[in-house]
Amino acid sequence: MTEIKTFLLPDVGEGLTEAEILAWHVKPGDEVAVNQTIVEIETAKAAVELPCPFAGTVAEVFVSEGDTVEVGRPILSIALPGATIPAPTSAAPEAAVDATPAAPPAEQPAQKGAEREAVLVGYGVKQTSAPARRARVPHVTPHGAPHTEAGPPGEAARPVRYGSLEVGRHTEEVLSRRSPVLAKPPVRKLAKDLDVDLATVDATGEDGSITRADVERAARLTVAGAAAATTPSLPGGRAVAPAWTGAREERTPVKGVLKMMSEAMVSSAFTAPHVTEWVEVDVTRTIELVERLKARPEFEGVKVSPLLLVAAGVVRAARRHAGINSVFDADAGQVVVKHYVNLGIAAATPRGLVVPNIKDADRLDLLQLARALQDLVDTAKAGRTQPADMVGGTITITNVGVFGVDGGTPIINPGESAILAMGRAVLKPWVVDGAVVPRHVMQLTLSFDHRHVDGALGSQVLADVARFLEDPAVELALG
């Protein structure tokens, strides 16, 4: 029996080829159990927590937070119970590239007790013709002591790096002070964007974790202190805007969700000829129904907003006009009409735009739809949307109204034929029964694929959603 097991970065679904290491939950010397979460990664689609398929002691961690690693590459090793932990190596073991891929744990003989391996979906070496890359290695012994690389004879040992921390002979005190910070990946991303050192942030979250509010408060304090020290004044005491601080330009790597979004939008914009139509709708009765639903006992604890009723209207329109709930398959020379509605909701997250979808939304009643929407949005904001939740959509809604915007020209989500943008609901003078009265008005914008959706169908769909929102209680037969 092999005493040291190497954990390879698995393909967590949808044929992904690489992922970024967001946060390690373990370090060398830690005891781990089967299915214990050991690392959080970000793929091109979502942030994913990886469970450990082995039980034992973490021997080495081969990659650092922030590294981008190819699927099938080693990321850490586990010493099984009773094994001797070897000294750290200078590089991660190379995965076999041209050889036959290793069998996934599900195909290996089952072991007993703590040595039994868990089945991890997609675990195994990914075939690729690309040359093997050496990952950056955090040189830390199993007990967390600093490690240095030996230089030429007579020369002092050179310090190495662990993440952004330089490790040398005199850094034990630093390492002890920089204990692992508890923060979710979106919070870490926010801290990075705001240039906030999480090690200096006071945590107020559960179990000592750092929250978004903690990071934002730390950023405000930093900005306020810098502004007080650097803001010049004009004669008379009038302050002038402070100059930019730091570098004059900033470059952000295009990877992960941002890379996926940019590629998808370019593909959609230059593949499907977009036609966009819009209409203004009196949504006063929609706003009134939202308030009535909030007061109903069955909706207690469930978020109810105009988005819920727009979603209900889009689902009904997609069922009535099946041609809009379709996709143009250029390779097969076919238009594929979907007889189910997987309703996509564009969500702005700390990592970028994602479009998870509610599977079989047309089978849900209004309360079930409200719960599904709330779960979808909460999961997306927390950075926990899984890749499977973002595939198979049939039609999408993007809510630009939450940003105080009236409307826009949305780009169709790849694999679909239409997307509806809902703007903010604002009071405007509106003619009702010959009199001008204040009414809540919303702009709806529909973009559709003009290769197979003609103007008549697109107009019918948009008018159908508008008619629904003018009096949704009647459409839904609600008392």
**Active-site residue among 25, 274, 321, 450?**
450
Q: Encode pLDDT of 221-256 as tens digits.
A: 765 555 555 555 556 656 566 666 677 777 777 777
**What predicted TM-score, i.e. pTM, was given to this entire model?**
0.58
- The per-residue pLDDT for 454 is 94
- The per-residue pLDDT for 387 is 82
Q: Which residues contact 420 (CB under 8 A, 6 or more apart)?
A: 310, 314, 395, 396, 397, 398, 410, 444, 445, 446, 462, 465
- The per-residue pLDDT for 118 is 38
- The architecture of the domain spanning 258-475 is 2-Layer Sandwich (3.30)
CA distance 72 to 96: 9
- The per-residue pLDDT for 270 is 83
CA distance 259 to 244: 28
Helices assigned H by DSSP within 163-230: 172-177, 185-193, 212-230
- The per-residue pLDDT for 236 is 60
According to CATH, where is 3.30.559.10 located in the chain?
A: 258-475
Helices assigned H by DSSP within 270-391: 284-294, 306-320, 366-381
User: 1-145: which CATH number, 3.40.50.300, 1.20.120.330, 2.40.50.100, 3.40.50.280?
Assistant: 2.40.50.100
According to CATH, where is 4.10.320.10 located in the chain?
A: 185-230
According to CATH, where is 2.40.50.100 located in the chain?
A: 1-145
DSSP state of 140: B
Reply yes or no on whether 450 is catalytic: yes
Query: For the domain 185-230, what is the CATH code?
Result: 4.10.320.10
pLDDT by position in tens, the chain (length 479)? 458 889 998 887 656 788 888 889 999 999 999 889 899 888 766 778 888 888 999 999 999 988 888 888 999 999 988 777 766 664 555 544 333 333 333 333 334 333 333 334 333 333 333 333 333 434 333 333 333 444 444 444 444 333 333 334 333 433 333 456 788 777 887 887 788 888 889 888 877 888 888 888 888 776 555 555 555 555 665 656 666 667 777 777 777 777 777 888 888 888 889 999 999 999 999 999 999 999 999 999 999 999 999 999 999 999 999 999 999 999 999 999 999 999 999 998 877 788 999 999 999 999 999 999 999 999 988 878 888 898 999 999 999 999 999 999 999 999 999 999 999 999 999 999 999 999 999 999 999 999 999 999 999 999 999 999 999 999 998 85
DSSP state of 180: P
The two structure tokens encoding residue 380:
């997306």
CA distance 20 to 25: 15
